[in-house]
Amino acid sequence: MPAAESYPDELKYHPEHDWARIDGGDATLGVTWFAQDALGELVHYEAPAVGSTVTKDESYGEVESVKAVSDIVAPLSGEVLELNQKAVDEPETVNDDPYGDGWLIRIRMSDPGEVDLLMDAAAYRAHVADQ
Amino acid sequence: MEATLHRTPLYARHVGLGARIVPFAGFAMPVQYEGVIPEHRAVRSDCGVFDVSHMGELHVDGPTTQGFLQAMLSNDVDRVGDGEAQYTLLTNEHGGIVDDLIVYRLAHGQFVLVVNASNREVVYGWLKDREPRGTEVRDASDAYGLLAVQGPRSLERLGLFEAPAFTHAMGELDGIEVMICRTGYTGEKGVELCCAADDAPGLWDAVVARGAVPCGLGARDTLRLEVCYPLHGNDIGPDRDAISAGLGWACALETEFTGVEVLRRVRTDGPARKLVPFVMEERAVPRQGMPIAGGGEVTSGTHSPMLDRGIGMGYVPTTTASPDSELVIDVRGKPKRARVVRKPIYRKET
């Protein structure tokens, strides 16, 4: 069952439709409801390797639906600590629960100051409304 | 951009159902309603309906038409009787494929060609330029609506009896006059219903009321690829000969038609490359245009909802064209393994 549209207040957002949940020096990353809805039911998640580094504003992986492929853009920089194997094995999890079970990677931030450059939920909702 | 696109008689239905509309072959067409995967599954398990009114219908009539079509089309049109239909190719001098189409014989000297939307004008022009005295080619595409109703329960839902594939007959569905064609592009049992354009919304409503699930072009593509039906513009085209494309069965090489001597030579010498179906061995979705190691490229690729794997077709050298050959596909810079399989890629368990 695809999730209903939502943009949780406790998350930070990147304009390329990615979210970050900050937890001390770590962050969990994923794609927003808007991104998964635009792509449709996901059939593949090409994940980065644990231990690799991701760079803010650059692609760290890909998600694909039947019809389209999309880069996943890192909202923050850091080292990949963990990837969500459930999203690799069952990519539709991202459609079902984009902010919960459908998270994509967890990173150790290399520059926590980057958090201040992200949008809050209100700003992101306004950004989506413009699309 | 949308303003310049043609609309089928069912455009308002698609918008009303919340379809995602995309430009396709000059038409604003529904790519999906609920989602490609549920629509695909509906056709494999029950019944789906597709608006294919964008396809072209050309009437070709007259006392010399039979001989004209025999000279233009690859298959043996003399074998098509009244009430029958045949898959065939319009070929060029190089044995390439101008279009793949279905020819319906209505009566002696009266044929309808159902052609790809993207090739409607090319095919019309090609035939018009070569039209002999005693034949008239007429583009009647705008006069008709065309619905494909496909799936194992399609006949039951429409209240139709079984009939042989590639036959057609006039009939009525819930009071609407239709030409019922036993043809399709999904590998499932089903029909294509041709009606007057003005009747198309009523026919659509009747078919949906009988339980057919509205399906878009997305599911149409995944369904056809699972059963290895080629798509013109992807897998076949003017620069690909019919034999290399695996369509020798639709070429009556003992008859005379445009480019036949080239096709006879390819048949005798053997093609250098062949169109083959493959299944990914690793998680990845192949896409049109991706290179295949050792020479070759993917011409169609998608994710198979039934196999839950990447599948596709592509041209490869004959040495790697036999079933079980391993292929390596360049998926945006990453090599991913695939294996050549026999047609069809997906076969229903019986």
Residue B253 located in a structural domain: no
Residue of B nearest to A65 (CA): B303
Nearest-by-Cβ selection for A43 from B287, B303, B334: B303
Q: Among positive and negative, which fits the CA dihedral B283, B286, B291, B294?
A: positive
Q: Mind telling me how many Å the CA of A88 is from chain B's nearest CA?
A: 9
Q: Which domain holds residue A70?
A: 12-129
Residue A104 located in a structural domain: yes
Q: Chain B contacts of A40, Cβ < 8 Å?
A: 32, 35-36, 218
Q: B333 and B193 in one domain?
A: no
Q: CB A66 to CB B284 under 8 A?
A: no
Q: CB B36 to CB A46 under 8 A?
A: no
Residue B291 located in a structural domain: yes
Which strands make up the sheet holding A26-31, listed edge to edge?
A12-14, A18-23, A26-31, A105-109, A78-83, A53-54
**At B201, phi and psi to the nearest 5?**
-60, -40
Residue A7 located in a structural domain: no
Return the percentage of chain B with pLDDT > 70, whole number: 99
Q: CB A66 to CB B287 under 8 A?
A: no
Residue A5 located in a structural domain: no
Torsion on CA atoms B269, B275, B281, B283, rounded to nearest 10: 150
Q: Mind telling me how many Å the CA of B40 is from chain A's nearest CA?
A: 11
What CATH number should be reported for the domain holding residue A29? 2.40.50.100
Q: Chain A contacts of B302, Cβ < 8 Å?
A: 66
pLDDT value at residue A108: 98
pTM of the entire predicted model: 0.94
Do the Cβ atoms of B88 and B75 come closer than 8 Å? yes
Over chain A (131 residues), what is each successive 10-residue block's mean pLDDT? 89 98 97 95 96 98 94 98 97 97 98 97 96 83
Q: CB B302 to CB A41 under 8 A?
A: no
Q: Chain B contacts of A43, Cβ < 8 Å?
A: 37, 285, 303, 308
Q: Are strands B190-196 and B144-150 parallel, antiparallel or unpaired?
A: antiparallel
Residue A6 located in a structural domain: no
Nearest-by-Cβ selection for B37 from A41, A44, A64: A41
Q: CB B303 to CB A64 under 8 A?
A: yes
Distances (CA, A) of B147 to B39, B115, B180, B190: 15, 14, 10, 11
> SS3 letters for B31-52?
EECCCHHHHHHHHHHCCEEEEC
Q: Which domain holds residue B173?
A: 2-53+143-226
Residue whose entry in the numeric block shows the structure tokens 């080239």: B262
Task: Give chain B's domain count.
Answer: 2
- Here the ipTM equals 0.85
pLDDT value at residue B60: 98
Residue B319 located in a structural domain: yes
pLDDT value at residue A1: 65
Helix residue ranges per DSSP H, chain A: 33-39, 85-89, 92-96, 121-129
Helix residue ranges per DSSP H, A3-129: 33-39, 85-89, 92-96, 121-129
Confidence of residue B31 (pLDDT cuts 50, 70, 90): very high
pLDDT value at residue A67: 87
Domain boundary among B191, B226, B261: B226
Residue B255 located in a structural domain: no
What CATH number should be reported for the domain holding residue B153? 3.30.1360.120
- pLDDT tens across B221-269, in order? 999 999 999 999 999 999 999 999 999 999 999 999 999 999 999 999 9
**At B289, phi and psi to the nearest 5?**
95, -10
